[in-house]
Chains A and B, each alone.
Chain A
Amino acid sequence: MNSTEASKLPEILRQYEAEILSEWLQHQLSSMKLRSSLIREADLREQSRKFLAHFGHAIRSGDDIGSSSWAEVRELLADLSRTRARQGFTPSETAAFIFSLKKPLFTRLREACGNDIESLAVEIWALTELVDTLGLLTAEAHQRSREDVIARQQQELMELSTPVVKLWDNILALPLIGTLDSERTQVVMENLLQQIVQTGAAIAIIDITGVPTVDTLVAQHLMKTVSAAGLMGADCIISGVRPQIAQTIVHLGVELGSVATKATLADAFRLALRRLGATISRTDPAR
């Protein structure tokens, strides 16, 4: 938009704002017939009106699109893309919001330029460049908000998959599900240590029934957790070692040190109770 002194666009926008808005809305509504469940017409009208107002204002300033006079437009677009991404619009539907503005604007430009083909071409090129840049902005914002959603879900998944359960006085259980990478080990470790402090547990049972494979790295992560718990004064028992995993561990020559391991959580629990000097007994059914 460097040739602003020649451009008729600011004047057109000022003069025909209402007409452009209604044409644009009609265009948007007809192309989004199927998605009317996702957004209300009133909302769309409000969004479009606001955008057009900011757009006209920014264009009249005659500045470059990266400048501060476009800040409001960019913000509005980013906000809109975020909302639409959350509402379930596809990226192309989101970008269509801005691209559908081309048609009413082009129509006005053609009317304004009349027979002057030369200047019409210049105007259209400038406008296309502008609208495309804005369209790319929406696509980018849409993408970013989708990535945010994925990151948040990953975080939630991580927190959900590492619960620490209190089994008994002074006995905690940590059922691990899924592969242990270093990031998850960190979360697991922090959760476990925090719970040890809170509950004052003396024994923690780490159940690896849900861990699909144990390689040297996973074993190393496990041992880290065990030694960290040990530093806090809690003993660890590893349970849920499946036959295949026992075989892998021995074949790989993984050193589990002096950590007690058991095949099932029940065995580990029994061992923990014995260490604490507690017993479970069956009441006589004849009584």
Chain B
Amino acid sequence: MDRIPILKMGPFLLVTIQVDMHDRLAMMLQEDLTGRIAAGGATGVLIDISSLEMVDSFIGRMLGEIAGMSRILGAETVVVGMQPSVAITLVELGLSLKGVRTALNVERGMELLRASVDESEATYGGPGSQR
């Protein structure tokens, strides 16, 4: 059973989905990721789905749920690199991933994460504070 690797980059966690997501894998990612955020005190999660060609409603909902859980654990989630066809599918499914921030590529996503961390530092006076 393969797992989706979670890389730590400073205060952020980087998840690159490079295989076809099936439901078990998505569930496992959810568990691993929430565990890692809680253990390491990450302030941002970046999920790169640029090689994801297909999504269904379940995977779409999982992405939304992961973002929700991360936020509760104090980490901002950015989903990057969505393919046009995937975006169209999600919209047609009625899933616009409310509450998930998106960016075109990893670089932009990182900028977005840094900006949001800076912002929360300015507001709450410390990295990793609850939002």
Residues of chain A contacted by B103 (CB below 8 angstroms): 233
Name the residue among B79, B87, B88, B102 with the largest chain A CB count within 10 angstroms.
Answer: B87
Nearest-neighbor residue (CB-CB) of B50 within chain A: A197
Q: Does B8 belong to the interface (CB within 8 Å)?
A: no
Residues of chain A contacted by B86 (CB below 8 angstroms): 231
Q: By the criterion CB–CB under 8 Å, are B102 and A231 in contact?
A: yes
Q: By the criterion CB–CB under 8 Å, are B104 and A194 in contact?
A: no
Q: By the criterion CB–CB under 8 Å, are B87 and A228 in contact?
A: yes
Interface residues of A in 191-220 (CB under 8 A from B): 193-194, 196-197, 200-202
Interface residue count for A (Cβ, 8 Å)? 19
Q: By the criterion CB–CB under 8 Å, are A228 and B88 in contact?
A: yes
Q: Does A119 belong to the interface (CB within 8 Å)?
A: no
Q: By the criterion CB–CB under 8 Å, are A232 and B104 in contact?
A: yes
Cα A189 to Cα B91 with chains together (Å):
11
- Picked from A193, A200, A201, A202, the residue with its CB within 8 Å of the CB of B84 is A193
Q: By the criterion CB–CB under 8 Å, are B104 and A231 in contact?
A: no
Q: Does A56 belong to the interface (CB within 8 Å)?
A: no
Q: Does B108 belong to the interface (CB within 8 Å)?
A: yes
Q: Does A62 belong to the interface (CB within 8 Å)?
A: no
B102 CB to nearest chain A CB (Å): 4
Residues of chain A contacted by B105 (CB below 8 angstroms): 200, 233
Q: Does B45 belong to the interface (CB within 8 Å)?
A: no
Q: Does B90 belong to the interface (CB within 8 Å)?
A: yes
Interface residues of B in 91-115 (CB under 8 A from A): 91-92, 96-97, 102-105, 108-109
Residues of chain B contacted by A229 (CB below 8 angstroms): 87
Q: Does A224 belong to the interface (CB within 8 Å)?
A: yes
Q: Does A91 belong to the interface (CB within 8 Å)?
A: no
Q: What are 28 A-B contacts with C-beta separation under 8 Å?
A: A186-B88, A189-B91, A190-B84, A193-B88, A197-B83, A197-B84, A200-B104, A200-B105, A200-B108, A202-B104, A202-B108, A224-B91, A227-B91, A228-B84, A228-B91, A229-B87, A230-B102, A231-B86, A231-B87, A231-B91, A231-B96, A231-B97, A232-B82, A232-B84, A233-B103, A233-B105, A233-B108, A233-B109
A interface with B by C-beta (< 8 Å): 186, 189-190, 193-194, 196-197, 200-202, 224, 227-234
B interface with A by C-beta (< 8 Å): 79-80, 82-84, 86-88, 90-92, 96-97, 102-105, 108-109
Closest 5 CB pairs of A and B: A193-B84, A233-B103, A227-B96, A231-B87, A233-B102
